Amino acid sequence: MGSFRKNRFVFLIAIKFSFAASPADKPPGWASMNGGTTGGFGGAEVTVTTMAELQKYASMSGKYVIWVRGTMGTSGTSGKSDGDRVVLSSDKSILGLPGAEVDGGFDLKKGVANIVLRNLKIRGPGATDVNGLDAITVQGSVKNVWFDHLDIADGEDGNLDITHACDYITVSWTRFSYTAKSASSGTSGKSHRFCNLIGHSDNNAAEDTDHLLVTFYKTWWADGVAERMPRVRFGKVHVANCLFTSKDPGQNYCIRACHKSDILAESNVFMGQTEPIDISFDSSFTAITAKDNLFGGCKGNTVGRGSSFMPPYGALSLTNPDKLEAEVNDARIGAGATLAWGSSPLVQLDGKRRSASHGTGMDPDIVDVSGRHADGTVMAVPFYLDPHQPSRVYETQK
């Protein structure tokens, strides 16, 4: 075997690399269109530990990968809209290290583009019907945004609302909920556990027609959500392989098709829900196609009407609905802030290929891999690429 010994090959390292999240990851769904969504990848990298630092770098011009460590900010008082806000400029990736939490919220407004938020807990002050602040607001011709592996709760108005002609947005592996911080469900003067509003008004056709392009993928509407999962006006919205299990006693509906909306809802799971698909509130929607969904213990409508748009992006990988609940609500690797970056995230990876004979007549590739983690540590490992199975990578003898 020359310089290689078979018993020193470490296949587990290949598995670790293939499943670890990276700042270079690319989104599925609508965020993959219009040139794709890369955030701050390739730009300067910083690690922040305070709200002031996060606000500073998030609003700076240029590309930044911003690693968030620890808990920061204040969510404020429900009904007063006084929590901390992070205002983003274009070309930013905000990536949470394990356990990272932002109390307050994020604002993506006025045409910002190319934003990635991943692996964060985001906490608002509690839902109240005062037309307050969202945990995340996306508003005003914002383009190319990827929200991934977030755990969002208790937004004062909504948890994540998208309005005013925004496009190319994907929400994936995200968990939405409300807690006891939000008052009992209801309408005026009570709670506003209304999670996701896509399009704010029937009267905004001049701005919103042919916009509001959004994908919800592997997303979980968990306890406390009364409605808007999502509620859609105008947009072309794809709800795929999502989980609906909210146990809110005041729940009104899950997906609501409203004025000029065009919705594809496929391969989702609804467990114990009221009005999983609402097509009776507003008959002026374009279409909602409901296919291959699983309903357990639900009451109310479960069918769509009309033929929706066909997504122009690459096909999503869809789990069979009878296995989806176990996948999405897995506390270790499911929806929410569950990403594994490794001991610390690898923020730079360089590989050089060389060849060497290992005595079998083949001429395999060796890749000398070196990487720098966010905490500044450096690793360097040579790997052997199996010429018969290129996807397999083995560590060589050190």
**Same domain, residue pair 385 and 277:** no
**Same domain, residue pair 39 and 187:** yes
**Same domain, residue pair 9 and 155:** no
**Same domain, residue pair 11 and 66:** no
Q: Please state the rounded mean pLDDT for residues 245-263.
A: 95
Q: Which residues contact 361 (CB under 8 A, 6 or more apart)?
A: none
Nearest-5° Cα angle at 375, 374 to 380: 80
Whose tokens are 């009904």? That residue is 79
Catalytic residue among 118, 175, 228, 233: 228
Assigned domain for 379 exists = yes
The stretches of 96-204 forming alpha helices (DSSP H) are none
Q: Please state the rounded mean pLDDT for residues 101-129.
A: 97
Express each pLDDT in 169-217 by its tens digit. Answer: 999 999 999 999 997 544 444 678 999 999 999 999 999 999 999 999 9
Assigned domain for 334 exists = no
Q: Select from 296, 328, 360 the last residue of a domain.
A: 328
Supply the pLDDT for residue 191.
Answer: 74
**Same domain, residue pair 131 and 265:** yes
Residue 78: which domain range? Answer: 23-328
**Nearest Cα to 270, choosing from 307, 228, 241?**
241
Task: Please provide the average confidence, as pLDDT, over all residues in the chain.
Answer: 85
**Same domain, residue pair 67 and 130:** yes
Supply the pLDDT for residue 379.
Answer: 44
**What's the whole-model pTM score?**
0.83
- Is residue 159 predicted with pLDDT exceeding 50? yes
**Same domain, residue pair 263 and 393:** no
Express each pLDDT in 15-43 by its tens digit. Answer: 333 358 999 999 999 999 999 999 999 99
Domain count for the chain: 2
**Tokens read off for 374:** 């966010």
Assigned domain for 342 exists = no
CATH of residue 87's domain is 2.160.20.10
- Is residue 384 predicted with pLDDT exceeding 50? no
Supply the pLDDT for residue 246.
Answer: 95
- Is residue 374 predicted with pLDDT exceeding 80? no
**Same domain, residue pair 378 and 271:** no
Supply the pLDDT for residue 370.
Answer: 46
**Same domain, residue pair 8 and 76:** no
Cα separation, 69 vs 46, in Å, equals: 11
Q: Select from 274, 299, 328 the last residue of a domain.
A: 328
**Same domain, residue pair 230 and 367:** no
Assigned domain for 337 exists = no
Q: Select from 328, 361, 390 the last residue of a domain.
A: 328
Assigned domain for 339 exists = no
Residue 228 known to be catalytic: yes
**Same domain, residue pair 117 and 14:** no
Express each pLDDT in 56-92 by its tens digit. Answer: 999 999 999 999 999 999 999 998 999 999 999 999 9
Assigned domain for 335 exists = no
**Same domain, residue pair 35 and 14:** no
Assigned domain for 324 exists = yes
Express each pLDDT in 308-344 by its tens digit. Answer: 999 999 999 999 999 999 999 999 999 999 999 854 4
Q: Where does the pLDDT of residue 382 fall: very low under 50, low under 70, confident under 90, or very high at 90 and above?
A: very low
